[in-house]
Amino acid sequence: MKILSAVNSVDEYQALADAGADELYCGIYHMGDVSHGNRALNRREGLSFCLNGEEEFAALNEKAQRDHRPVFVAINSFYSTEALNKVKRQIAALLPLSPHGFIVADIAVLRFIRQSGFAGKISISVGGTVFNAQAARFYQELTADRIILPRHLTLREMDTFADLGLELEVLVLEDRCLFIDGFCNFHHSLPGKSTNILHDNKFLARTIFPRLLAKLNYGSIRQTLPRWLGGKADRFRRVCAYHYKISSLGAAETKAEQIDKLQLALSDHTHVETCGLCRLAEFEERGIGYIKIANRGKLTSHKVQTIALARAAVTELMKRGAPEDFTACIREHYRRIYGHPCGRAHCYYPND
Amino acid sequence: MERALLLSPRQSSRQTGGEWDRLYIGHEFCERLLPSDQEIESLVKDRSLPDKRSLVTPYVTQAGLERVQALVRRFVEKEPIFDEVIINDWGVFRAIREHGGRRVLGRLLVRQLRDPRLVDVDCGAQELPGLSISDDFIRVIRDVFGISRIEMDTTPAELAAVSKELHVSLYRPFTYVTTTRLCPIANLDGKPAGISLVADRCNFECVDHAYELRNELMGRTLYLYGNTIFYRNEEEGLPPLGPDRLVIQQLP
């Protein structure tokens, strides 16, 4: 089973490789490029999340090819004509650098890549919303090689993808969102905001911002922020985790405790430290050969820890020990990295 | 302009009065709300409703896909009650291609910019609000896949240009923002058991429960109906050029 990690600078390549990442994925960003409210063309804005142009990709890919470590380029949003023209220019600039593969969601992009003569791997992003075997076949007929299964599938529902002749990948660590990526219209970062300087300034983007993000996502600030700021805490939260004033519209009366439950359901299920590593054996049974860590924009040290967690899980799986021992071992590794035990709220597969 | 009424059969008790040219039956967002055979038969018998009908289908798991296929085999191919299928899943698109009926690309597969905050952000008129489908995409769906109609729910600057290439349906009064299989309303009346996927705990609470969501950062009120969040779009008005069908959703 192969482990995929995000990479957003050539400087962190060796640390991620040493930690045990088998494959890498990245986005490419061009400073000052504003397009369609989605500046980086790959759903994550700025140098915190992306490589700095094709030059940095070339430097990264040279190292990766030397080590036979595949690198995928994410071009995984949906595009207007204007944005697609930028995408096409980016692809044309990348093809001579021989990327191992692309991660896409827009079928116009998929077709352009193949029509450009690229014979490498094409992965269908979670944005491709492949919830059933016919959808997988649809993309297979468009020459996709790999499907990244959407987050909101149970293990039982994944049975349907076995024996299709496609590589299968699942998200297994970090950043579960309440909403379905491929159908969600919330922007992670709005254009025209003052955070633009944060995205374009290399020092701020790669040193300050990830540390700030770590404090907000994992540190004590996450717990204390609502106490300090009350309703204004949402300014520091992901849009998909906003808190709302909720009032009932329907025919049935809604009790106060049901409103509280609804509030929790809407805002508290977008967790960063989510994990599905206990399910590796079940993934293997279903022919899933690739596990992905959703760690774009995180500190290199954190990326290393999450890769190490995934690597420990794969190593334990290979020992073929008793399932309960495997689970206990993974949970202990999780606790060491995240500083607390895992629970249902942190589970990528809570229904299974 | 053709006027279509969108009904989920569990909502069929709502008012259907008015002049309608077409009936949309089904659901875009939840496979559990696909109509049963009996529900479809009951609506067909209602002479007050139009006899041009579209089957509306959601994104689906394998189980949901099998249900959609059964509906299409019976009500599109064998007993043609529906002349169209509204498709929000590429798997459905592929699965029903042999069964006849016009395939219409539903709004989940037509990627518009729908973030409710965008309309209030000053980032250049040429940027937003807009359409995230390209000329290339339109050519593929029209010339390769044979689709002649798409469905939208906001009115981008490109609408007139798009409508020269394809027929366009426009949804009112709700634009969808986002959707989930971790339905927040499912099991609302039950014990607080944490998150769960729809299939395990749903008692169709969404039929009787709907909510307004307010947050000052959103700039506008959101609405939660079942597993999907919407905002109201009536202030966009109807464009003078573009859509040739208006689809009216009836939600609480």
Tens-of-pLDDT digits for all 352 residues of chain A? 999 999 999 999 999 999 999 999 999 988 766 555 555 688 887 888 899 999 999 999 999 999 999 999 999 999 988 889 989 999 999 999 999 999 999 999 999 999 999 999 999 999 999 999 999 999 999 999 999 999 889 999 999 999 999 999 999 999 888 899 999 998 876 655 555 666 778 888 888 888 887 877 766 666 677 777 777 778 777 788 788 899 988 666 778 888 888 887 887 666 678 999 999 999 999 999 999 999 998 999 999 999 999 999 999 999 998 988 999 999 999 999 888 898 877 888 876 6
Distance, in angstroms, between A332 CA and closest chain B CA?
A: 23
Shortest alpha-carbon distance between residue A68 and chain B (Å) = 34
Question: Whole-angstrom Cα distance, residue B22 to residue B6?
Answer: 9
Q: Under an 8 A CB cutoff, do A245 and B65 touch? A: no
Q: Which residue of A has its CA nearest to B227?
A: A179
The answer, for A340 touching chain B at a CB cutoff of 8 Å, is no
Distance from CA of B151 to the nearest CA of A (A): 15
Judge whether residue B14 has pLDDT over 70: no
Tell me what ipTM this predicted complex has: 0.94
Residues in contact with A260: Cβ distance below 8 Å, sequence separation at least 6, in sequence order? none
pLDDT number for residue B222: 95
Q: CA neighbours within 13 Å on the CB side: how many for A306?
A: 27
Q: What is the pLDDT of residues A10-26, one digit of tens each?
A: 999 999 999 999 999 99
B176-235 confidence digits (pLDDT tens)? 999 999 888 887 776 555 555 555 678 888 887 889 999 988 878 999 999 999 999 887
Query: B184, A139: Cβ pair inside 8 Å?
Result: no
pLDDT digits (tens, 9 = 90+) for B99-125: 878 999 999 999 988 888 876 655 433
B:17-76 residues touching chain A, CB 8 A cutoff: 59-65
pTM assigned to the model: 0.94
Residue B16 is predicted with a pLDDT of: 63
pLDDT tens track for B144-190: 999 999 999 988 878 888 999 999 999 999 999 999 998 888 877 76
Look at A80 and B112 and tell me if their CB atoms are within 8 Å: no
Q: Which residues of B touch A124 (CB under 8 A)?
A: none
Chain B interface includes A164 (CB < 8 A) = no
Query: With an 8 Å Cβ cutoff, are B189 and A185 in contact?
Result: no
| Cα-to-chain-centroid distance, residue B228 | 11
B200 vs A351: CB contact, 8 Å cut-off? Answer: yes
What mean pLDDT is reported for chain B? Answer: 87
| Alpha carbon distance B163, B150 (integer Å) | 9
Pairing of strands B53-56, B245-249: unpaired
Q: How much of chain B is helix, strand and coil, in % rounded to 5?
A: 30, 25, 50
Q: Is B143 on the interface with A (CB under 8 A)?
A: no
Which residues share a beta bridge with A218? none
Nearest-CA distance from B140 to chain A in Å? 7
> In 3D, which of B1, B56, B2 has the Cα closest to residue B34?
B56
Q: Measure A241 CA to nearest chain B CA, in Å.
A: 11
B117 interfaces chain A, CB cutoff of 8 Å: yes
